[in-house]
Amino acid sequence: MKGIVAILCSLVGYLLAQFLPDGALAVYAPMMIAYHLFLVFLVVTTVQDKGISISPVSAVITHFACLALLVVFAEARAYIPYFSIIRFFTPGIAAFEAAWLFTGKGKKAQVAADTGEPMGGTAEDYEDFILYLRQNERPFSKPGRSVKEEYKFWLAYRSKNGAINSGTRPAV
């Protein structure tokens, strides 16, 4: 799907180049419009799935760096063989920028920050659970079980058997 949209954006840029008078505008405008159309498509389709991985200031700096790359590419058109064909691949830089901005780490980090301390128990229980997590063998840890679920099982065992020492290994 992304390839088809990239081709469509390049064709829009080509059509614009046909209607613009010769000169710098006929080179810059189609490349920039095709680039931004494809970037908007990528951002709209990606932002729903993944979180932004860098700060907004860094995103703006990254965008300006990609635009500077496009301008330098357009300025070097006299030295680039087959520039009239190669310029249709400039939306590929938008794919790079979108991949750079949306690696998915941002949303996961935000979810981890929002969860905070698990629900239930006291602060002392939570500190003892942190000590329990540092053990090499954790009896409540099972494949596919989250740490929050492990905390619930540990807390249930602790409340059932009284306050246990964090170094004591319960028999499960």
The whole-model pTM stands at 0.55
- Share of residues in the chain with pLDDT > 90 (%): 1
Task: Report residue 49's pLDDT band, with 50, 70 and 90 as the boundaries.
Answer: low
Tens of pLDDT, residues 139-168: 888 888 888 888 888 888 888 887 655 445
**Predicted local distance difference test score (pLDDT) of residue 64:** 92
Can you give the three-state secondary structure of 10-56, one letter per residue?
HHHHHHHHHHCCCCHHHHHHHHHHHHHHHHHHHHHHHCCCCCCCCCH
Specify whether the CB–CB gap between 92 and 69 falls below 8 A. Answer: no
pLDDT at 112: 47
Domain borders along the chain are 2-109, 117-160
% residues pLDDT > 70 (the chain): 81
